[in-house]
Structure 1
Amino acid sequence: MAFKVTAFTVLVTIAFAHPENIPQYGYGGPTPSSGPAKYDFNYAVNDPPSGNDFGHQEARDGPNTQGSYYVLLPDSRLQRVTYTVNGDSGYVADVTYEGDAQYPSTPRPYTTVPQYA
């Protein structure tokens, strides 16, 4: 019985113990005030041997965002999406397709290994 009381006392002591060196995670300081978001970026990939052709550009100034992205589809059309976001108006997109869909009689073989020229 004494063992059970001692074990219970040790467990309660451990459960309520407060370590003196509690690690602090994160920045730890006051959050710096920030103004409205403002950025501009773009990227593009065009790799004819692999058939990859896509890109994206976006600019934001405060609550107003505008941008576009495009991708070369497997049927050889280029899909382009132009969008805007003005405050709380939501995402407004315009989707267009350039070119005519083409379906080759022999599809390009699929390979899991990248092929470099």
Structure 2
Amino acid sequence: MFTKAAVVVALIGVALAVPTDPYGAPPKPQPTYKAEPMPYEFAYGVKDDYAGTDFGQNEVSDGNTVKGSYTVQLPDGRKQTVNYVADHYGGYRAEVSYYGEAQYPHEYGPAITFKPKAYNPQPSYQPQPSYH
């Protein structure tokens, strides 16, 4: 009788130790390292009158809040400027403004294309046949 009771208790213990959902998602790992916020600042600009390219951006961060702006020369002749502020509390907030007046020409010419340079690759070695 004692053996039967021990076997029943062992079976109940095994049944209770088995997880109820063996295919469930694994527990999320806890982050072990969180980097301190680092301030930064950067800016760039591109202006190519021949190709008609004109854009740029500048951005400053104190580690918590990011402030910046970027500008783009639009195809219709206007310049678009976006000033923005982003942080963890207010999200991304942008103010968009346009300078100039849109230009729509009555006559359209051919598209501006650039003639590609000739490409004639020359091997740096002279292959020799491996048979005679």
Same fold (TM over 0.5): yes
Mapped pair 1:48 → 2:49: yes
CA distance in 1, matches of 2:34, 2:41: 21
- The total of aligned residue pairs comes to 85
Unmatched runs of 5 consecutive residues or more in structure 2: 1-31, 117-132
Partners of 1:62 and 1:104 lie apart in 2 by 46
In the TM superposition, 1:19-30 aligns within 5 A as none
Distance in 2 (alpha carbons) for counterparts of 1:78 and 1:84: 20
TM-score by length of 1: 0.63
TM-score by length of 2: 0.56
What is the DSSP-based 3-state SS (H/G/I as helix, E as strand, rest coil) of the residue aligned with 2:68? strand
- Aligned twin of 2:98: 97
Question: What residue is the counterpart of 2:68 in the other structure?
Answer: 67
Deviation at 1:112, TM superposition (A): 5.4
DSSP-derived class of the 2:89 partner: helix
The verdict on how the C-alpha distance between 1:108 and 1:36 changes in structure 2, with shifts beyond 3 A counting, is farther
Q: In the aligned structure 2, how far is the partner of 1:50 from the partner of 1:103? A: 19
Contact between 2:46 and 2:55, CA under 8 Å: does it hold in 1? yes
List gaps (5 residues or longer) in structure 1. Answer: 1-30
What is the deviation of 1:80? 0.3
1:80 equivalent to 2:84? Answer no
Matches of 1:105 and 1:79, distance apart in 2? 23
Give the superposition deviation at 1:103. Answer: 1.2
1:22-58: CA deviation from partner (whole Å, max 9, x where unpaired): xxxxxxxxx9863212110000001111110000111
How has the CA–CA distance of structure 1 residues 33 and 90 changed in structure 2, closer, same or farther, with 3 Å as cutoff? closer
Match of 2:13 in 1: none
2:101 corresponds to which letter in structure 1? Answer: D
Give the residue type in structure 2 aligned to 1:64: T
| Larger Rg belongs to | 2
How much does 1:67 deviate?
0.3
What's the CA shift for 1:60? 0.8
